[in-house]
Structure 1
Amino acid sequence: MAFLSSSIKKVFLFALVMCCGHFAMAQLKATTIESASDLGNNCFQITPDIDGQVGGVWFDYPIDFSNDFTIAYQNYFGNDNDGADGMALVFKLTPDIVIGGSGGGLGYEGIPSSLIIEFDTHNNPSREDPSFDHIALMSNGSSYHTLATNLSGPVNPLVDGGVNIEDDLLHDVKVEWIATTKTLNVYFDCQLRLSKTQDFKSSIFNNDNAVYFGFVGATGAKHNRQEVCLNRVSFIEDFIASDETICLGESILKDVSIHNGITYSWEPSASVSDPNSANPMLSPTVDTRYTVSITDLCGETFKEFINVTIAGNSIVPRFNPIPNVCEGESLVLPSTSLEGITGAWSPEPDNTKTTEYTFYPDPGQCAAPTTVIVNVLIPTFNIPAGICEGEQLSPLPTTSIEGIVGSWLPELNNKTPTVYTFTPDVGQCAHSVSRRIDIYSTEALSLKTVILPDSFSESRTIEMHVTGGSGFYEYQLDEGVWQSEAVFENVSRCNQHDVGVRDVYSCAAEVREVVDLIFYPKFFTPNGDGYHEFWNIKCLETHPEAVVFIYNRHGALLKQIKPSQNGWDGTYRGTSLPDGSYWFVAHYKDENNENKELRGYFALKR
């Protein structure tokens, strides 16, 4: 006999995934040091938003600079443009887990035989740092730009001339090594910002075929939270997608999503649940090699390959019928099926209630989980949970649904909530049970609707708050299906909607109400490309009296617009404002000529 406790079940599921599932970074072990921590999903916090921190994450897979490779990731440098100090991608000759100097040393200072791509977010004059955040290619653990160890740069990461990358945004970074020309390229937000041609294998790594990489960072007297999320490591074949083995007739969920992935395309598509999904179900009937093409935010497309091998037929285990169990009687479930398949059951046996149990076959048998229901004989009845005030209470049934005969105490009472106890006649496989029957109020229903504006969505959420009646309600939107949930999500913008609520027990009359929804766009891009050049509340275009006030994050008024005219072009006194969040207050009148106010915020992205 075997039963699957929660801990054993986790072990079983782990074994199943190891046999047939996908673990990200299966061949790339990550080890953090000092203030760094693993955030999961290939993401790491290098430093918390605290001064005097230094941290790093190192990976155990060796790189040979005789071959091409690409490392693509996203960096988060914090949200304080006066913060510090920055991060670096480091290649070094030894596999040991080390950390370098803090502060302006960015966690790499002092690491020998190293090649460093630094992203410095603080001006340290002693190191001849430029006044803007910068990228530089450094070597041999030195962070000083005046020395020969400064191989290239420093350069501005931003092509638009901006000086700050601590902007609360994720930035795409791609490091590309071209072995034939011995060229290292560094891309920042999809733009080539630094390129250096040099034989690093001989000049730095002593012609060694095994070079190790990791990310480090530091803070000093000033600080920022700094994070990195890996998207692609080209020399790890199963970094994104691993090969699988499944049983015939089984399907497997494959997740190949990356943090900056935009589109996904699977071939062959016939056995893929959604060929354009990042995590479809694969259901091949023969051994199949899948190709998934992934396009990232920079418009770059690369391919990953997954081999799915069919191991054999998937057997559904069978068991002899399990007889009904008296409440409290011993309950034993077989650990081996009629076909000889071994496994474990979940949940553990419970002789106090009828339960559905799932049999999980041991790994390697190409057998599927199956379920059985074990009936525990407990009297059950179709008895109302409650009645409305003044309603007649029908006599309670003296025979249960299972055919158990008995009687109820106390006498019926239709004025006060009462607990009634059923006592089975002697000689039956059953125990006494109790049921409570409530008396529900007939107070008229009172409805209040709450609209939840989501400035990053073209839809709205309607919440309905009700009092009165029995306390059990059903809700309806626009004469649709009645539902038990009091929330309606993704409700269309710029429309009137009819909502209703009714008492499940009909103790009070149905109530209805009409609500208005106003939509405003989540962002606009006044960059001259002809798309989304102006921000406006289009739902108010037909309201000539409507006026909208736009503010910056400090509360300074920037612009006053009328939705019936032109929107805002993202300027203040003729000067283009920077990317970021802006706030607004709109005043308008509804169809009943009542004054209304709408508040929210939106993003400007050039």
Structure 2
Amino acid sequence: MKRLFAALIWVFAWVGADAQPYKLLGGATALGGDCYQITKAAPNQRGVVWRNDKIKLNEPFDLEFLMNFGDRDQNGSDGMVFILQTAGNDKLGPNGRDLGFSGIFPSLGVEFDTFQNNRTGGTGYGDPEFDHIAVVSNGNGNHTTPHTLFMPVPALESGRNIEDGRGHLVRIAWNPTARELDVYFDCQQRVKLRKDLITDLFEGQTEVWWGISGSTGTAYNRHTVCLLPRTPFQSTMTVCAGESGTLTSRMAVDNQYRWFPAEGLDNPTVRSPKVRPLRPTTYTVSYRNHCGQSVTDTIRVSIATSNLELGKDTTLCEGQTLTLSTHCQNATTVLWNDGTGKATLTVHQPGRYWVRVEEAGCVFLDTVLVRLESCQEANVYIPDVFTPNGDGVNDVLTLHYSGIDSYEFFVYDRWGVVLYKGELNKAAWDGQNYPAGLYTWVVRYRFTDQKQQKHEVRKMGQVQLWR
């Protein structure tokens, strides 16, 4: 009798502020509601907010947040940077034109720069006149160097000032298959960078820290960022067979959502419905984003299954053994009811046996009932004494049997050396040339019961040789 149970081990969940999902350095402060002040409106400030858990570059991610660059257009600076890096979440670069990003290596930065550094000091920093977005590497924001991976473009297609006191919707999406990084600003795509981030920047590392830094110089602005709830957005998810998960859409400006198909959802009109699909399903959700645009996203829901199968309840004959197997080649952990952790378990006693397997991020359980009965339809008898003295009585050790298809009969000395091997119709040890004493015998025999089931039985005993 099989009973299969699955439970999701890994559940994507947004951790609230009380669990401190972010690490704040420099002048960064928490404002509540997943919003953070990166710098206050004062000269020579710097700050950074690092996420405490890493993001995986071998998986897609889609981040959304609201950035506010302050309201000082004249004499306002300097901007903020979205950063991916492997140096650690205790890093913060200098203030001023470096945006708190300089010196962090290896790294990738998507900079949102509101100050033209060329106009002061003649540094030749390569900044354009307009508020711009660029992609740079290894903490170097000088656009005249090879560290600039995507040259500056206006933050807004119109080139309009973004130091307007408003929150601007920023979206950053990574596709590891296409090796594309897309940057959107107020719902307009402004950057498409094609680059192998794992190989070219991070030397094969697939997990990176991510965060947002910013700074001011002699000119300044207040910089804030709000992480929209439930980020990163998941375009794929997996639920365990028979269990449910939670779908989560990006934020709608009017809190109106429409999911399709409705099959498997507890409520297709909320942002985060519970999902329990009967089969792998691609769900779409339609809503209006913060720019008032109609958007449709898709989420592919897969079902994690397992090959775990202990088989039907069974009955063993006395002396039989049964080897139970999980049949799970990709199991990360295995636990049997006796505490062992191998892929198989050999049993010879009656009882209910269970196994717990972790596979594909889920827990699967299966049980089987083993009964024991005396189904012996073959008889084997071996005397416990024989006297090879030539008197014609009990001179040889003979295997007496009935109903046996085949067998092997062995006699051993006290050191385990085989002294004799007999087979069907040839099982008689005369004990000649061996001293009196105690010897061990083993017999393996096979028979077919009335149900036409084959059985193999092993028995062992001892015999006394007298002279």
What TM-score comes out, normalization by structure 2 length? 0.51
- Tell me the secondary structure at the aligned position of residue 256 of structure 2: strand
Residue 186 of structure 1: aligned partner: 183
Letter paired with 2:214: G
The answer to whether the aligner puts 1:44 opposite 2:36 as a matched pair is yes
> Aligned match of 1:301 in 278, 296, 302?
296
Sort the Cα spacing of 1:293 and 1:38 in 2 relative to 1 into closer, same or farther, 3 A. farther
Runs of 4+ aligned residues of structure 1 deviating over 6 Å after TM superposition are 253-257, 267-274, 289-292, 304-307
Letter paired with 1:66: N
Say what the alpha-carbon RMSD is for the aligned residues: 4.2
1:145 is displaced (CA, Å) by 1.1
> Aligned match of 1:85 in 59, 78, 84?
78
Residue 366 of structure 2: aligned partner: none
Residue 358 of structure 2: aligned partner: none
The whole-number CA distance in structure 2 between the counterparts of 1:210 and 1:189 is 28
The whole-number CA distance in structure 1 between the counterparts of 2:113 and 2:210 is 18
Sort the Cα spacing of 1:294 and 1:61 in 2 relative to 1 into closer, same or farther, 3 A. farther
1:28 and 1:61 in contact (8 A); partners too: no
The answer to whether the aligner puts 1:65 opposite 2:57 as a matched pair is yes
| Equivalence map 1:262-301=2 (5 Å) | 263-266=256-259, 275-278=268-271, 293=285, 295=287, 296=289, 297=291, 298-301=293-296
Letter paired with 2:199: S
- Tell me the secondary structure at the aligned position of residue 198 of structure 2: helix
2:36 and 2:226 in contact (8 A); partners too: yes
Residue 141 of structure 1: aligned partner: 139
Residue 233 of structure 1: aligned partner: 232
1:107 and 1:218 in contact (8 A); partners too: yes
- Tell me the secondary structure at the aligned position of residue 141 of structure 2: coil
> Aligned match of 1:102 in 95, 98, 112?
95
Deviations 1:276-314 (A, max 9, x none): 35489x899xxxx9978253244332356999xxxxxxx
Letter paired with 1:301: T
1:43 and 1:227 in contact (8 A); partners too: yes
2:23 and 2:89 in contact (8 A); partners too: no
| Equivalence map 1:116-155=2 (5 Å) | 116-125=109-118, 126=123, 127-155=125-153
Sort the Cα spacing of 1:260 and 1:106 in 2 relative to 1 into closer, same or farther, 3 A. farther
The whole-number CA distance in structure 2 between the counterparts of 1:270 and 1:181 is 31
2:282 and 2:298 in contact (8 A); partners too: no
Deviations 1:199-230 (A, max 9, x none): 22112101112111100001111221212222
> Aligned match of 1:195 in 192, 203, 208?
192
The whole-number CA distance in structure 2 between the counterparts of 1:180 and 1:292 is 21
Sort the Cα spacing of 1:234 and 1:131 in 2 relative to 1 into closer, same or farther, 3 A. same
Which structure features the higher share of strand residues? 2
Sort the Cα spacing of 1:81 and 1:116 in 2 relative to 1 into closer, same or farther, 3 A. same
The whole-number CA distance in structure 2 between the counterparts of 1:150 and 1:257 is 30
- Tell me the secondary structure at the aligned position of residue 132 of structure 1: coil
The whole-number CA distance in structure 2 between the counterparts of 1:111 and 1:76 is 24
2:87 and 2:104 in contact (8 A); partners too: no
| Equivalence map 1:87-486=2 (5 Å) | 87-125=80-118, 126=123, 127-162=125-160, 164-231=161-228, 232-234=231-233, 258=251, 260=253, 263-266=256-259, 275-278=268-271, 293=285, 295=287, 296=289, 297=291, 298-303=293-298
Greater C-alpha radius of gyration: 2
The whole-number CA distance in structure 1 between the counterparts of 2:263 and 2:178 is 41
The whole-number CA distance in structure 2 between the counterparts of 1:124 and 1:109 is 15
1:81 and 1:166 in contact (8 A); partners too: yes
- Tell me the secondary structure at the aligned position of residue 233 of structure 1: coil
- Tell me the secondary structure at the aligned position of residue 104 of structure 1: helix
Residue 452 of structure 2: aligned partner: none
Residue 24 of structure 1: aligned partner: 14
Letter paired with 2:15: M
Sort the Cα spacing of 1:145 and 1:100 in 2 relative to 1 into closer, same or farther, 3 A. same
The whole-number CA distance in structure 2 between the counterparts of 1:202 and 1:254 is 32
Deviations 1:348-367 (A, max 9, x none): xxxxxxxxxxxxxxxxxxxx
Residue 55 of structure 1: aligned partner: 47
- Tell me the secondary structure at the aligned position of residue 223 of structure 1: coil
The whole-number CA distance in structure 2 between the counterparts of 1:153 and 1:60 is 30
2:286 and 2:294 in contact (8 A); partners too: no
The whole-number CA distance in structure 1 between the counterparts of 2:33 and 2:189 is 27
Letter paired with 1:158: L
1:235 is displaced (CA, Å) by 5.5
1:61 is displaced (CA, Å) by 2.6
1:272 is displaced (CA, Å) by 9.0
1:153 and 1:194 in contact (8 A); partners too: no
The whole-number CA distance in structure 2 between the counterparts of 1:290 and 1:196 is 27
Letter paired with 1:106: L
2:284 and 2:296 in contact (8 A); partners too: no
The whole-number CA distance in structure 2 between the counterparts of 1:184 and 1:292 is 23
Sort the Cα spacing of 1:260 and 1:219 in 2 relative to 1 into closer, same or farther, 3 A. farther
2:109 and 2:137 in contact (8 A); partners too: yes
Sort the Cα spacing of 1:93 and 1:259 in 2 relative to 1 into closer, same or farther, 3 A. farther
The whole-number CA distance in structure 1 between the counterparts of 2:158 and 2:26 is 35
Matched pairs, number = 279
Sort the Cα spacing of 1:261 and 1:68 in 2 relative to 1 into closer, same or farther, 3 A. farther
1:28 is displaced (CA, Å) by 8.7
1:201 and 1:208 in contact (8 A); partners too: yes
1:56 is displaced (CA, Å) by 0.8
1:50 and 1:223 in contact (8 A); partners too: yes
Work out the percentage of aligned pairs sharing the same amino acid. 31
Sort the Cα spacing of 1:68 and 1:261 in 2 relative to 1 into closer, same or farther, 3 A. farther
The whole-number CA distance in structure 2 between the counterparts of 1:198 and 1:270 is 39
2:255 and 2:271 in contact (8 A); partners too: no
1:80 is displaced (CA, Å) by 1.4
List gaps (5 residues or longer) in structure 2.
Answer: 1-11, 238-242, 303-467
Letter paired with 2:105: P
The whole-number CA distance in structure 1 between the counterparts of 2:185 and 2:87 is 27
Higher relative contact order (CA 8 A, sep 6+): 2
